[in-house]
């Protein structure tokens, strides 16, 4: 499970630390820094797993405007049976020369080195932490992303593989196409390649794909099955109808925005819970009504809580999510103009104080307090 995210000098996130739970809810006013949290996680993943260009992921305009330092620092921590893994990245900017490069990149397990790259000099370590080879590398790329698998570096390789399994998404159904030219092992942020990712999932995790169909029949009214049709270019179809009645096939892009989002959310939920992956979602309730989002949320909550596997980090303004998760799993993010994001765990005592001044007394829900601006405002 991802246990902590640390960010310094990225947009409004300055000396920012988020301690994560199996289910974490981020809430607060607009422009408070919530979406920047997911942006950082996605950028780190794109750098280490997607081998994306450093200046594209961390351009100079991501530096905190009122902070004059030119170094950004990021840490992502994970707890496993082997111990505590930590990835640390320091990005150095020279705005005058439009230069950005990696000053420091390292991976540790329980504080012991598994990988280290400083000022373009890479040092490899074995699973027993003994030093391995050293060599020079391009400062503008992640050397960790290019680390080749060997029998004696399975800790580092395994950690990188788990970073690839983080599902970071801000759903945009208008961009979710039905056609897939290939199998994509990583989802795009907007899920525009959902069909290509499902094509990969159905091949690499066939048992899960079968279970997905069974669960979706229970969770989605009228859903019957998926189908990928075609030769090289596959098209994702969805079958709807009664169990013993008429049925019809629809291209995935023929479905309504709400249907596409709901199907995607149920697939993401099952993948996170059954494979133990980390799911990061920005406002999953968009395009859905209360009748659709509430059962999905409760199933996600109960599945992760009961199975003690998988993880979900949600950004939301929806009252159902707030009332279910805020008391035990919520963090409030906000900021003053031209000041850094502040983060505070939501405490029961704070909720009692916020509700004490209202005529309704203790009958107000957390969502009521947020709506009225009585909580931390």
Please check whether residue 80 lies inside any domain of the structure: yes
> Regarding predicted confidence, which is higher, 64 or 376?
64
Dist. CA 175–CA 189, nearest whole Å: 11
Please check whether residue 336 lies inside any domain of the structure: yes
Do 180 and 234 touch, CB atoms closer than 8 A? yes
Q: Are residues 54 and 94 in the same domain?
A: yes
Q: Does residue 357 register a pLDDT over 60?
A: no
| Residue 372 CB contacts under 8 Å (≥ 6 apart), including other chains | 358, 364
Q: Residue 373's pLDDT band (boundaries 50, 70, 90)?
A: confident
Dist. CA 272–CA 1, nearest whole Å: 11
Please check whether residue 234 lies inside any domain of the structure: no
Q: Residue 358's pLDDT band (boundaries 50, 70, 90)?
A: low
Residue-wise pLDDT for 215-254, tens only, equals 999 889 899 999 999 988 999 999 999 888 889 999 999 9
Please check whether residue 276 lies inside any domain of the structure: no
Q: Residue 377's pLDDT band (boundaries 50, 70, 90)?
A: low
Q: Are residues 328 and 374 in the same domain?
A: no
Q: Does residue 152 register a pLDDT over 80?
A: yes
pTM here? 0.93
Residue-wise pLDDT for 17-46, tens only, equals 999 999 999 999 888 999 999 999 999 999
**What is the torsion angle, in degrees rounded to the nearest 10, for the CA atoms of residue 322, residue 373, residue 21 and residue 1?**
90
Sign, CA torsion 3/101/188/229:
negative
Please list the residues that pair with 249 across neighbouring strands. 239
Please check whether residue 120 lies inside any domain of the structure: yes
Q: Can you give the pLDDT at residue 116?
A: 98
Q: How many domains does the chain have?
A: 2
Range 139-159 average pLDDT: 96
Instruction: Outline where DSSP puts E strands in 252-347.
Output: 278-282, 311-315, 330-334, 342-345
Please check whether residue 254 lies inside any domain of the structure: no
Please check whether residue 33 lies inside any domain of the structure: yes
Average pLDDT of the chain to the nearest whole number: 92
Q: Can you give the pLDDT at residue 347?
A: 85
Q: Does residue 308 register a pLDDT over 90?
A: no
Q: Can you give the pLDDT at residue 289?
A: 85
Q: Residue 371's pLDDT band (boundaries 50, 70, 90)?
A: confident
Q: Tokens 């390292």, residue? A: 106
Q: Can you give the pLDDT at residue 356?
A: 61
Q: Are residues 107 and 135 in the same domain?
A: yes
Range 73-92 average pLDDT: 97
Total Cβ atoms within 10 A of residue 170: 19
Query: In CATH, what number is assigned to the domain containing residue 143?
Result: 3.40.50
Sign, CA torsion 343/346/352/355:
positive
Structural domain range at position 136 = 1-166+324-346
**What is the torsion angle, in degrees rounded to the nearest 10, for the CA atoms of residue 117, residue 118, residue 120 and residue 123?**
-40
Q: Residue 365's pLDDT band (boundaries 50, 70, 90)?
A: confident
Do 51 and 93 touch, CB atoms closer than 8 A? no
Q: Can you give the pLDDT at residue 96?
A: 74
Report the range of poorest mean pLDDT among 164-178, 188-202, 299-313.
299-313
At residue 65, the 3 state secondary structure works out as coil
Q: Can you give the pLDDT at residue 253?
A: 96
Please check whether residue 363 lies inside any domain of the structure: yes
Dist. CA 8–CA 185, nearest whole Å: 30
Q: Can you give the pLDDT at residue 5?
A: 98
Q: Residue 348's pLDDT band (boundaries 50, 70, 90)?
A: confident
- DSSP-derived secondary structure for 106-175: EEEETTEEEEEEETTEEEEE-TTS-EEEEEE--TTS-TGGGPPP-TT-HHHHHHHHHHHT-EEE---GGG
Give the number of residues written for the chain: 377
Q: Does residue 361 register a pLDDT over 60?
A: no
């Amino acid at each position: 499970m991802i246990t902590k995210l640390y960010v310094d000098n990225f947009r409004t996130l300055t000396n920012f630390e988020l301690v994560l739970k199996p289910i974490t809810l981020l809430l607060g006013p607009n422009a408070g820094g919530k979406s920047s949290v997911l942006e950082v996680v996605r950028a780190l993943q794109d750098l280490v797993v997607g081998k994306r260009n450093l200046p594209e992921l961390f351009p100079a305009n991501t530096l905190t405007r009122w902070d004059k330092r030119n170094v950004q620092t990021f840490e992502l921590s994970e707890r496993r049976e082997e111990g505590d893994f930590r990835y640390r990245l320091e990005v150095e900017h020279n705005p005058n020369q439009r230069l950005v490069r990696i000053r420091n990149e390292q991976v540790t397990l329980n504080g012991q080195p598994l990988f280290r790259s400083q000022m373009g000099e890479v040092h490899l370590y074995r699973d027993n932490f003994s030093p391995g080879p050293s060599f020079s590398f391009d400062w503008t790329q992640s050397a960790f992303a290019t680390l080749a698998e060997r029998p004696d570096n399975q800790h580092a390789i395994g950690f990188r593989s788990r970073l690839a399994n983080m599902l970071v998404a801000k759903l945009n159904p208008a961009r979710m196409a039905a056609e897939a030219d290939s199998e994509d092992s990583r989802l795009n942020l907007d899920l525009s390649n959902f069909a290509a990712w499902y094509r990969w999932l159905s091949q690499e995790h066939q048992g899960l794909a079968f279970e997905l169909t069974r669960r979706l029949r229970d969770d989605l009214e009228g859903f019957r099955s998926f189908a990928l049709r075609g030769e090289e270019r596959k098209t994702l179809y969805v079958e709807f109808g009664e169990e013993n009645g008429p049925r019809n096939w629809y291209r995935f892009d023929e479905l309504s925005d709400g249907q596409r989002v709901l199907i995607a959310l149920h697939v993401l939920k099952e993948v996170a819970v059954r494979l133990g992956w980390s799911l990061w979602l920005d406002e999953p309730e968009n395009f859905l009504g209360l009748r659709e989002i509430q059962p999905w949320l409760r199933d996600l909550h109960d599945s992760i809580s009961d199975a003690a596997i998988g993880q979900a980090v949600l950004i939301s303004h929806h009252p159902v999510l707030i009332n279910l998760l805020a008391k035990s799993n919520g963090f409030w993010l906000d900021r003053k103009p031209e000041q850094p994001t502040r983060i505070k765990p939501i405490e029961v005592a704070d909720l009692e104080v916020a509700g004490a001044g209202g005529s309704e007394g203790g009958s107000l829900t957390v969502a009521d307090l947020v709506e009225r601006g009585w909580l931390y405002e």
